[in-house]
């Protein structure tokens, strides 16, 4: 089972202060890695870093805007100062927010592309430079979204950026294969973050008719995405590169069944 472990690996997780990034950071620590978390809000990072240290692993919390090259460089430099090397980069930072294609300005578009796609380019390449210099390989994981695969009438810029990330992954995988660096992509479907749960956006596990929703028909928990990221960062995925792992059950099926039941008057 040691093939699935990350003992004493050094990982950077961007967007590591909350949501999916927080879950990835903790899962990495659980698997034995030391984790550097980077995101814009220092307070959130400090909390996650504190929790990782309580797990007996080391952690650094470095406030970073991953759309700014100098700040990405700083994130890497501080990691090397503290740990002397870098084994795993998870480009997870990203987010939606786009005012609809008819109203959006080029600045709106650029902001979303910058946060979701430029950030991956900056982090991936900066990490690869270190890994190539080290000469013993590495793992790069980009967190895309099923928005980058599905039809998306309302997330134009986000969906385009996430689709771009999927193909960036393949290009980098070819470029870096000769250095034994694996570059892969994880595309989560709808994932319930603590923030969504607090706000009451998490779908109920019980239907209106009182029956339970089967686990595979529920949306992801953040841990499900983290599990895929542990696998891809581990020796178990040594021969996987340029691939896309879509993490989603059949939540869309449950949702369309809901619509059907509604229309059939079966839901009171």
Partner 1 sequence: MSRFELTGKVAIVTGGGGTAHGTGRSIALSVADAGAKVAVVGRHRDALDGVVAEIREHGGQAAAIPADVTDAMQVETMVAATLDAFGSVDILVNNVGGITFGKPEEITPDAWAASISLNLNSTFFCCAAAARQMIEQQGGKIVNIASSSGIKGEENAPHYAAAKAAVINLTRSLAISWAIHNINVNCVAPGSVKVPDRPIPGMPEDEYLKRRILQSADGAKPLQLPGDPKDIANAVVYFASAGSDLMTGETLVVRGSEWASAYS
Residues recognised as catalytic? 158
- Residues 55/28, Cβ–Cβ less than 8 Å: no
Judged by CB under 8 A, does residue 149 bind partner 1? no
| Number of residues lying near partner 1 (CB under 8 A) | 42
Window 30-69: contact mask with partner 1 (x via CB under 8 A) = xx--------------------------------------
**Closest CB to partner 1 among 108 and 221?**
221
8-state DSSP, 212: B
Q: Give bridge partners of residue 143 from the DSSP assignment.
A: 186
DSSP of 97-136, one letter per residue?
----TTT--HHHHHHHHIIIIIHHHHHHHHHHHHHHHHTS
**Closest CB to partner 1 among 42 and 134?**
134
Find the binding residues for partner 1 in span 177-196 (CB under 8 A).
177-182
Q: What is the dihedral of CA 4, 8, 14, 16, to 10 degrees?
A: 80
Q: What are phi and psi of 83, to 5 degrees?
A: -110, -15
Judged by CB under 8 A, which of 47, 240, 258, 261 binds partner 1?
240
CA distances to 83, 139, 166 from 80, rounded to whole Å, are 5, 16, 28
The nearest distance, CB 255 to partner 1, in angstroms, is 13
Judged by CB under 8 A, does residue 95 bind partner 1? no
Residue 200: Cβ within 10 Å count: 7
The nearest distance, CB 61 to partner 1, in angstroms, is 25
Judged by CB under 8 A, does residue 118 bind partner 1? no
Strands 34-39 and 59-63: what pairing?
A: parallel
Judged by CB under 8 A, which of 4, 53, 111, 149 binds partner 1?
4
Paired tokens of 175: 């470029």
Judged by CB under 8 A, does residue 267 bind partner 1? no
Judged by CB under 8 A, does residue 253 bind partner 1? yes
The residues of the shown chain that bind partner 1, judged by CB under 8 A, are 1, 3-5, 30-31, 137, 173-174, 177-182, 214-217, 220-221, 224, 227-228, 230-231, 235-243, 245-250, 253
């Amino acid at each position: 089972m040691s093939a699935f472990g990350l003992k004493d690996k050094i990982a950077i997780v961007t967007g590591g202060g909350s949501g999916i990034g927080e879950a990835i950071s903790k899962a990495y620590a659980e698997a034995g890695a030391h984790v550097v978390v980077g995101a814009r809000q220092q307070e959130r990072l400090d909390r996650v870093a504190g929790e990782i240290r309580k797990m007996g692993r080391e952690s650094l919390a470095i406030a970073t805007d991953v759309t700014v090259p100098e700040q990405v460089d700083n994130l890497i430099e501080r990691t090397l100062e503290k740990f002397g090397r870098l084994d795993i980069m998870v480009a997870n930072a990203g987010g939606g927010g786009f005012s609809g294609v008819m109203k959006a300005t080029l600045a709106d578009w650029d902001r979303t592309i910058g946060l979701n796609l430029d950030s991956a380019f900056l982090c991936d390449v900066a990490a690869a430079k270190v890994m190539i210099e080290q000469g013993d390989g590495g793992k790069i994981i980009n967190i895309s979204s099923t928005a980058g695969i599905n039809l998306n009438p309302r997330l134009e810029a986000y969906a385009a950026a996430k689709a771009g990330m999927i193909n960036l992954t393949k290009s980098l995988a070819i470029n870096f294969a000769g250095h034994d660096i694996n570059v892969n992509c994880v595309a989560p479907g709808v994932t319930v973050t603590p923030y969504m749960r607090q706000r009451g956006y998490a779908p109920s596990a019980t239907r209106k008719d009182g029956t339970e929703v089967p686990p595979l028909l529920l949306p992801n928990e953040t841990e499900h995405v983290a599990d895929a990221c542990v696998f891809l960062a581990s020796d178990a995925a040594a021969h996987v590169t340029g691939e896309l792992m879509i993490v989603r059950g059949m939540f869309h099926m449950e949702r369309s069944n809901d619509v059907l039941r509604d229309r059939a008057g079966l839901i009171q």
